[in-house]
Chain A
């Protein structure tokens, strides 16, 4: 079975490195790109056409909420999962899911939570 393609959008290289390892170790996914802000995220979404996007919220240049909105306007079927330190803030979560995010995972996270949610999409 083909592995699902995942795009990471997070300004932290450290977190992206950890996420890539967790996601690829599951054997079900392949990380095809890493964008460091929302603008790069939209560009890579368009060029790489990933199956799933893991999106941080707090980023320079363009934040995750704006990027979710832009990606959802490009593809209403896009599967975006927010992974953010601000996931405990009700307003942020509500905005993210109203814009179309499929789930919201808080940082720090557990590997099994990430994989469980990605597999459920």
Chain B
């Protein structure tokens, strides 16, 4: 019920053992041609480059990607991008498991179909991105996953307002939680929520209605919501070959200078409306 990579999906279903996943990924990485195919499709290598690396490889025990970097044919960032794509590519990891004898073709076919059906819920829908936003596809994933997780975790069927770019600090609200996404791309993901909405989200995260929830418990629940959304966002971004990490969520403190979330930078604001109350999703572009 989250954005997954196929290896973890099989692990979670107890279809494979952790050591089998390690062996399958190692096997997949050792298959130089697959790396070459990815690099070729991304335009990072030519057929001639691949032949040269393979010839060179006979004289060394270096991995294909490492050797390509050493020969200055490809950059370390490009290697990392391809390896990340490979790990998250459910078809190739599945094939590696069949070839290693950990799965039969029938089981792979069945599980791939189930996996794709499960993950189809996390395919981004049409969302209008304001002009001037960098990486619109990633912003689309961020907005979309926030919406989907509100439905999945808080049972809130929300309506998305028009997104806009602004460099103004967010208005004061009951709670503003921020998560730093850092790595090959950098953002601050933030959610501003009223007391009513914050309580609702927190109670759904805890899984029961608690009377007289303290502010600390409410904030903790909203922080965990943001953590889960952002974890799923970086999983989605990893499928595109980008390595991004997240820091633990933080509650922002309002002062006479405002929240100091944007600090003069631009942010994309998306109002999120529901019958139970409203939220503001803010994505600060670093």
B79 CB to nearest chain A CB (Å):
13
Name the B residues within 8 Å of A84 (CB-CB): 231
Contact B2 A108 (CB under 8 A): yes
Whether A13 and B220, one on each chain, are in contact in the complex, defined by CB atoms closer than 8 angstroms, is: yes
Is B1 a contact of A15 with CB atoms below 8 Å?
Answer: no
User: Beta-carbon contacts of A92-121 to B below 8 Å, as 1s and 0s?
Assistant: 011001100111111111100100110010
Interface hub of B149, B227, B238 (most chain A Cβ within 10 A): B227
Q: Is the CB of A88 within 8 A of B87?
A: no
Task: Tell me if A94 and B87 are in contact (CB < 8 A).
Answer: yes
Within 8 A of B (CB), among A43-69: 58-60
Query: Which chain B residues lie closer than 8 Å to A14 at the CB level?
Result: 202, 205-206, 217, 220-221, 224
- In-complex Cβ contact of A108 among B216, B217, B228 (8 A): B228
Known: A21-B208, A90-B5, A90-B87. A85 touches B14 (CB 8 A): no
**Contact between A88 and B2, CB atoms less than 8 A apart:** yes
Whether B247 contacts A58 by the Cβ 8 Å rule is: yes
Q: Cβ of B192: which chain A residues have Cβ within 8 Å of it?
A: none
Contact A58 B1 (CB under 8 A): no
Cα distance A106–B165 when bound, in Å? 32
Pairwise interchain contact B238-A89, C-beta atoms closer than 8 A: yes
A12-B222 Cα distance, complex, nearest whole Å: 10
Cα of A58 to Cα of B246 in the assembled complex, Å:
7
| B149 (CB) vs chain A CBs: closest residue | A108
Q: Are A85 and B2 in contact (CB under 8 A)?
A: yes
**0/1 per residue, B187-223, Cβ < 8 Å to A?**
0000000000000001001111000000011001101
Q: Is A11 an interface residue (CB 8 A)?
A: yes
Please state if B231 and A88 are interface contacts (CB–CB under 8 Å): yes
Asked, given contacts A12-B227, A101-B18, A120-B14, whether A109 binds B1 with beta carbons under 8 Å apart, the answer is yes
Task: State whether the Cβ of B11 lies closer than 8 Å to any Cβ in chain A.
Answer: yes
Size range of the interface on A? 35 or more
User: What is the predominant secondary structure among interface residues of chain B facing chain A?
Assistant: helix
Q: Counting CB contacts under 8 A, is A87 at the interface? A: yes
| Contact among B208, B217, B235, B247 with A88 in the assembled complex (CB-CB below 8 Å) | B235
Contacting pair A85 B230 (CB below 8 A): yes
Is the CB of B7 closer than 8 A to any CB of chain A?
A: yes
The answer to whether B8 touches A93 (Cβ under 8 A) is yes
Q: Is the CB of B234 within 8 A of A89?
A: yes
Q: With A and B bound together, what is the CA distance between A97 and B216 in angstroms?
A: 33
Is the beta-carbon distance between B217 and A87 smaller than 8 angstroms? no
In the complex, A97→B228 CA distance in Å? 20
Known contacts A12-B220, A93-B8; A88/B205 CB under 8 A = no
Given known A86-B246, A102-B18, contact A18–B238 (CB-CB < 8 A) = no
By the criterion CB–CB under 8 Å, are B1 and A106 in contact? Answer: yes
Q: Which of B12, B19, B21 has the most CB of A within 10 A?
A: B12
Chain A residues within an 8 Å CB radius of B84: 90-91
Docked pose: A82 CA to B207 CA in angstroms: 20
CA distance A98 to B26 in the complex (A): 11
9 contacts between A and B (CB under 8 A): A14-B202, A58-B247, A86-B235, A87-B4, A90-B5, A106-B3, A106-B8, A109-B1, A117-B14
In the A-B complex, the 9 residue pairs with the closest CB atoms: A85-B231, A88-B235, A90-B87, A97-B18, A106-B2, A12-B224, A14-B221, A18-B207, A88-B3
